[in-house]
Amino acid sequence: MTDDANKPTPQPFQTEVARLLHLMVHAVYTDKEIFLRELISNASDACDKLRYEAIANPDLIADASAGGEFAVTLHPDADGGWLEIIDNGIGMSSQEMAENLGTIARSGTKAFLDNLPEQPDGANLIGQFGVGFYSAFMVADHIEVISRKAGSDEVNVWISDGASGFTLATADEAEASRVPRGTIVRLKLKDDAKVFVEPDHIERVVRTYSDHILFPVMLAVGNEEPRQLNRASALWQRSKSEVSAEDYTEAYRTMTGLFDEPAVTVHYKAEGRQSYAVLLFVPEQPPFDLFDAERRGRIKLYVRRVYITDDAEMLPGYLRFVRGVVDSEDVPLNISREMLQNNPMVAQIRSALTKRMLGDFAKLAEKEPETYLKIWNAFGSVLKEGIYEDTARREELLKLARFQTTAGDEHRSLAEYVADLKENQTEIYYLAGQDLARLQASPQLESAKAKGIEVLLLTDPIDHYWTTLGLDFDGKPLKSLSQGDVDLSSVNPAENAENVEAEKSEGAKNEDDGTAAGDGFITMLKETLGEKVSDVRASKRLVDSAVCLVAPGMGPDLGLEKILSQRQQAIGLKPVLEVNTRHALVKAIAAEAAKSDAADFSDLAGLLLDQAFVLDGQTPEDPAAFATRMNKVMLQRLGG
């Protein structure tokens, strides 16, 4: 080997890494000790990976002298102020070190960092992201990683001070001989982190955070015989009574790299057709990449304590926020990761897990509605994807759904909605749109409001999709108030009368003298507006507003049409203009239409349609034409 090959090559960190490091090093983050959890968990992952590789290629671990039993060893050096984390796992090639310890491959990272608020809140939010290897720079200002990829003769050294980049070089002989297999992470501890050379301190931290790591975590001080600090038994294999709430929390944090508490913990063993142990968690907070297009799940599949993959999609996409472990006794160990997707045993476990999760949610909703609501608020928009795609469990998911409605601030279930139906009400009404405030002010709600009819207010993009399925709940069809002809006149007739009375005594806002603009006027409007609308009709849903837009009876809801048009997939159906024929303005225009010339009428008709677009949160179809019409009317008013 030439000297040149030995010369360290400097490389910059990817921008995102540099930013994350800067944030972390300057964070007043108090839980600095979590760095040890992160490095031990990486070391354990590395052992997991090699054990899996060795199933197909036993030579990788055959030579006991070159590595021995899988273990993670902590080696403090009080004199020099170093702490080493040593594993005999899979190791990394030079290129892998450059990639894994120099970039962040997760999509959405940049967006996440861009949206982080300034300190000190940013430090807490990093917890949602999972800090990983880089957290070591909270306690060290110089890190060396010496690694040998399993089966390779080459040993490489990665060195960084955590500022702008790192160097990579081939290890010298002394270094190489220290790493027969796996990786040594060497931390030169900062002055304020020197406690991490103290055996008692290390032991406490390991017991707290890493007790359930599957491999032995050994402490090797000086010439003393190394001793084991953790229990090294799979937490999920223990019985529930043996596991404390803290154990669960720490297992959750190690598995996920997150900092919050699990909101729900599901731990059981299945026996019967198949045997497997399950430990699943629902986080408190949504992770930053929840809506990533990949919809990747993160359940780790083990077979008889051997880690296989976290890619086996053990739960459907709409439960991708659930984290944890499934450990099967029956799936063949030597199955390739690719074959797992179609393995019938895996499929059966998948379906049992899904059933269990949804069942547990239902129980929680009943017993602890407030806890359940938190989960729904964090993950409901994901669960609703299931209403759309999981036909078999649609009914169950509809029961789990909670909605904001016009009935108050409480979230309501469909069962509650149906229990409170008004007299003669046979349908469940909803309105879907971008945000609550705008929905609440929507003209399409007016007659329902006036009659005290509850309306579901749907604000998640996914709502536009599952509502197109024409579903019903408890035999009551769901019906959009922004689509088709809605006639609420037969619902709740008593309330109706009261409100009309109330309105009259208030002084009749719309100066309703009992007359209404007639059919002739509607026909005129339709002719004038022509192609711009698919229909014009007298509205049964408006009370205060003059006009509103609704979607034609067939085809997508207006909200969906908007989403589709942003993606250039719009069907292009023109909206229906509904006109409140009892509204003072409409009546005045109708009266004017009867006498005035056609040119002026087309301006007034155009302005009515423009207004309907604005009320719907859109811009008028032709903004320039709108401005011209508006100016004309204003000038008239000003006598110009």
**CB neighbours of 186 closer than 8 A, spacing ≥ 6?**
82, 83, 84, 143, 144, 145, 146
Residue 92 binding ligand ADP, by CB under 6 A: yes
Site residues for Mg ion, window 110-149 (CB under 5 A)? 132
Counting DSSP H helices and E strands in the chain, the numbers are 23, 23
| Residue selected from 67, 102, 257, 433 as contacting ligand ADP according to rule CB under 6 A | 257
132 scored as a contact of ligand ADP (CB under 6 A): yes
Residues 534-593 that bind ligand ADP (CB under 6 A): none
Binding ligand ADP (rule: CB under 6 A), the pick from 42, 156, 381, 528 is 42
Q: Phi first, then psi: give them for residue 328, nearest 5 degrees.
A: -90, 145
End-to-end CA distance of the chain: 92
Pick the closer one to ligand ADP by CB: 39 or 604. 39
Q: Does 100 bind ligand ADP (CB under 6 A)?
A: yes
Total chain residues near Mg ion (CB under 5 A): 2
358: which DSSP letter?
Answer: H
Tokens of 340: 């797992």
Amino acid letter, residue 44: S
Q: How far is the CB of 371 from Mg ion (least distance, A)?
A: 29
Q: Which span sits near ligand ADP by CB under 6 A: 16-24, 39-47, 480-488, 533-541?
A: 39-47
Q: Determine the size of the site formed for ligand ADP (CB under 6 A).
A: 17
The C-alpha atoms of residue 129 and residue 122 are separated, in whole angstroms, by: 11
Residue 48 vs 557, nearer CB to Mg ion: 48
Is 126 near ligand ADP (CB under 6 A)?
no
115 phi/psi in degrees, rounded to 5: -95, 0
**Is residue 46 near ligand ADP by the rule CB under 6 A?**
yes
**Nearest distance from C-beta of residue 257 to Mg ion, angstroms:** 6
Long-range contacts made by residues 374-381, C-beta under 8 angstroms, separation at least 24?
374/263, 374/284, 375/263, 375/264, 375/282, 376/400, 376/401, 376/402, 376/411, 378/263, 378/283, 378/284, 378/285, 378/286, 378/321, 379/282, 379/286, 379/290, 379/321, 380/460, 381/460, 381/461, 381/462
Q: Quick check: 289 binds ligand ADP (CB under 6 A)?
A: no
Residue 90 touches ligand ADP, criterion: CB under 6 A: yes
Residue 560: partners with Cβ closer than 8 Å, 6 or more residues away: 432, 464, 465, 468
Minimum separation from the CB atom of position 471 to ligand ADP (A) = 39
- Mention every residue, 6+ apart, whose C-beta is less than 8 A from residue 568: none
Task: Give me the least distance between CB of 287 and ligand ADP, in Å please.
Answer: 12
Nearest to 470 by CA among 459, 480, 482: 480
Residue 183, binding choice from ligand ADP, Mg ion, none, Cβ under 5 to 8 Å by partner class: ligand ADP
Q: Which stretch binds ligand ADP (CB under 6 A): 85-93, 115-123, 219-227, 525-533?
A: 85-93
Could you count the other beta carbons within 10 Å of the beta carbon of residue 513?
Answer: 10
Q: Are strands 82-87 and 403-405 parallel, antiparallel or unpaired?
A: unpaired
Cβ closer to ligand ADP: 87 or 144? 87
DSSP letter at 551 equals B
Element (H, E) at 609: helix 598-615
Under rule CB under 6 A, residue 287 binds ligand ADP: no
> Out of 67, 76, 89, 433, which residue is the one contacting ligand ADP (CB under 6 A)?
89
Nearest to 454 by CA among 499, 491, 489, 406: 406
Instruction: Name which of 309 and 328 has its Cβ closer to ligand ADP.
Output: 309
For the CB of residue 88, give the shortest distance to ligand ADP in the complex, in Å: 10
DSSP assignment of 302-346, as one string?
A: EETTEEEES-S--S-GGGTT-EEEEEESSS-TT--HHHHTT-HHH
Tell the smallest beta-carbon distance from residue 580 to ligand ADP (Å).
Answer: 58
Give the nearer residue to ligand ADP in terms of CB position, either 48 or 327: 48
**Residue 172 and residue 67: Cα distance in Å, rounded?**
19
Which residue in the set 13, 23, 35, 42 belongs to the binding site for Mg ion (CB under 5 A)? 42
Binding span for ligand ADP by CB under 6 A among 1-9, 41-49, 273-281, 530-538: 41-49
Of the residues 20, 29, 34, 38, which one makes contact with ligand ADP according to CB under 6 A:
38
Token duo for residue 412: 């309501």
46 binds, among Mg ion, ligand ADP, none (CB under 5 to 8 A by kind): ligand ADP
Which residues are at the interface with ligand ADP (CB under 6 A)?
38, 42-43, 45-46, 87, 89-92, 100-101, 130, 132-133, 183, 257
Which residues are at the interface with Mg ion (CB under 5 A)?
42, 132
